[in-house]
């Protein structure tokens, strides 16, 4: 993979984590309903699919590892930080007296601690199982890529924990994209002009309730209402094509823009942020989703000023604050390895 290609994906990761922060600011710092917030619906339609697609793009080398090495690498890369940072955040929450208010299940009860560690940082857990499903499927199919991918896709749909069933198709799409990156670069304008109208149409007809209807559909299925299966297929297909079109639109746009980008300083800053997305994602879960969510409320602010002015500025500031903290932690070898699981 060329250096330029790495820079392009670093910029994509920077944009993806910025959108994550923007969406979280809108969600956590105001009690206004997000269902009618156009920017929130726009961000939610593709930001996590984009992250999963990028992760799948870089999955190839890990999928070739021996089983024990694969499991060890992915455990310490993805699951260990959930445990280490989770316990650290629990201690900090208890120290400042916020544990009870966020977790009514009981202050430092086994149930409270288990709930926090299980529910937090869901994307890292989802990514771990996406890796595992594809790795096992390829092993079962003896390395046959097509059949391994098909088997993994089928199996993933019966794995609802951590949204694996909805996230895995994007992971698989990114993995497939890695085999066709040269084709993508050659046909980047065509990808842009196809994905743009598709995404626009799906976004225009988007019902915001599609992101929250899944629990109701699962309940109906458990009650024997097999008509709910039709709704399940509709929701999954709609969310997939919406997320895929949005992700490819952003990917193609970044590839095209970087062909003419001459600001090395800005490109360097974005690339630097893109290399710290794991740390940024983890640290924002404490600073933004917990501390700021408990102490800040912009509900009384004009919704448009909050959504389109304050939120993006605050998100950008938070991004660089979290990036700085992540880099500082990694500069201390023992602490970095203890928290991130890697040297």
Calpha distance 100→94 (Å, rounded):
8
Q: What is the pLDDT of residue 310?
A: 95
Q: Is the CB of residue 76 less than 8 Å from the CB of residue 243? A: no
Calpha distance 14→323 (Å, rounded):
11
Q: What is the pLDDT of residue 27?
A: 92
| pTM recorded for the entire structure | 0.90
More confident residue, 160 or 79: 79
Calpha distance 15→47 (Å, rounded):
9
CA torsion, ordered 241, 169, 182, 188, to nearest 10 deg: 20
More confident residue, 92 or 78: 78
More confident residue, 124 or 341: 124
More confident residue, 270 or 342: 270
Calpha distance 343→341 (Å, rounded):
7
pLDDT of residue 105 exceeding 70: no
pLDDT of residue 243 exceeding 90: yes
Q: Where are the alpha helices (DSSP H) in 80-144?
A: 80-96, 99-102, 110-119, 122-140
- Supply the DSSP symbol for 260: S
Condensed to tens digits (0 to 9), the pLDDT of residues 147-198 reads 999 999 999 988 878 889 889 999 999 999 999 999 999 999 999 999 999 9
Lowest mean pLDDT, pick from 168-172, 194-198, 204-208, 256-260 = 204-208
Q: What average pLDDT does this structure show over 247-259?
A: 93
Condensed to tens digits (0 to 9), the pLDDT of residues 295-335 reads 899 999 999 999 999 999 999 999 999 999 999 998 888 88
pLDDT of residue 65 exceeding 50: yes
pLDDT of residue 37 exceeding 70: yes
């Amino acid at each position: 993979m060329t250096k330029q290609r790495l820079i392009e994906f670093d910029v994509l990761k920077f944009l993806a984590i910025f959108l994550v922060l923007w969406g979280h600011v809108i969600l956590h710092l105001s009690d206004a309903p997000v269902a009618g917030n156009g920017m929130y619906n726009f961000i939610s339609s593709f930001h996590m699919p984009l992250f999963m697609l990028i992760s799948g793009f870089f999955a190839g080398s890990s999928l070739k590892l021996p089983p024990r090495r694969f499991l060890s690498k992915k455990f310490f890369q993805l699951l260990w930080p959930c445990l280490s940072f989770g316990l650290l955040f629990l201690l900090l929450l208890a120290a400042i007296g916020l544990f009870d208010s966020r977790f009514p299940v009981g202050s430092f009860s086994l149930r409270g601690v288990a709930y926090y560690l299980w529910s937090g940082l869901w994307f890292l857990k989802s990514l771990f199982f996406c890796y595992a499903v594809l790795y096992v499927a390829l092993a079962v199919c003896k390395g046959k890529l097509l059949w391994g991918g098909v088997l993994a896709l089928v199996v993933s749909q019966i794995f609802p924990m951590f949204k694996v069933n909805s996230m895995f198709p994007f992971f698989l799409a990114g993995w497939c994209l890695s085999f066709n990156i040269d084709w993508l670069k050659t046909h980047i304008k065509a990808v842009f002009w196809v994905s743009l109208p598709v995404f626009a149409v799906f976004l225009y007809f988007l019902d915001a309730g599609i992101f929250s209807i899944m629990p109701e559909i699962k309940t109906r299925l458990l009650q024997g209402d097999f008509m709910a299966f039709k709704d399940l297929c509709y929701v999954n297909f709609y969310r997939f094509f919406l997320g895929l079109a949005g992700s490819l639109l952003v990917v193609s746009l970044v590839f095209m823009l970087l062909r003419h980008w001459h600001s090395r300083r800005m490109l360097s800053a974005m690339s630097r942020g893109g290399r710290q997305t794991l740390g940024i994602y983890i640290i924002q879960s404490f600073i933004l989703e917990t501390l700021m969510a408990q102490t800040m409320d912009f509900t009384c602010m004009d919704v448009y000023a909050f959504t389109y002015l304050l939120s993006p500025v605050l998100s950008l500031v938070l991004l660089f604050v979290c990036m700085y903290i992540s880099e500082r932690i990694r500069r201390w070898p023992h602490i970095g390895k203890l928290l991130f699981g890697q040297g």
